[in-house]
Amino acid sequence: MKWLLVALIVATTTVGEVLQAAGMRKHGEIRDFRPNALGRALAALARNRFVIGSVLAMAASFFAFLKLLSISDLSFAVPASAATYVAETLLARYVLKEHVSPRRWAGAALVIFGVALISL
């Protein structure tokens, strides 16, 4: 049950966060933080298909995470969900076409090893 939930969380979070990144890139940089402007930005985002998809995936991820928290320690649940990291970095490179420099790969690798050490 525990690992099934982790698998579900990893899948939904990965899809949700990549869609979120794609949607926000499509929207463009948020520069104006006055309430009216933020309201307009939210209205635009509510019509952004990538953002809508990401909200649905993140909602599924949230309820699976809630269930996982009810049956496991916080110190298991949080690092276990970090498995999304590897998949998301690869998707950032190959789907979102970001330029992942050697320095970024090295940083990502250090983080992955660090998370493994914390959680295993």
Partner 1 sequence: MHSDAARLRVKTWLFTVIVVLSNAFGDFFMKRGIPDTARLATPLEYIAVLFQPWVAAGVALLIVWQMSRMALLSWADLSYVLPVTSIGYVVVALLGKVMLNETISAKRWAGIALIVAGVSLVSAGTEVSTVKRAEAPR
Among 34, 35, 47, 117, binds partner 1 (CB under 8 A): 117
DSSP 83: G
**Positions 48 through 107 that interact with partner 1 (CB under 8 A):** 51, 58, 62-63, 66-67, 69-70, 74-75, 77-79, 82, 85, 88-89, 91-93, 96-101, 103-104, 106-107
Please tell me the distance from the alpha carbon of residue 42 to that of residue 45, in angstroms, as a whole number.
5
End-to-end Cα spacing for the chain: 18
- Residue 3 or 120 with smaller CB distance to partner 1: 120
Greatest alpha-carbon pair distance for the chain in Å reads 47
Query: Rounded to whole angstroms, what are the CA distances from 28 to 25, 39, 105?
Result: 5, 15, 25
User: What are the residues binding partner 1 (CB under 8 A)?
Assistant: 17-18, 20-21, 24-32, 37, 40-41, 44-45, 51, 58, 62-63, 66-67, 69-70, 74-75, 77-79, 82, 85, 88-89, 91-93, 96-101, 103-104, 106-111, 113-119
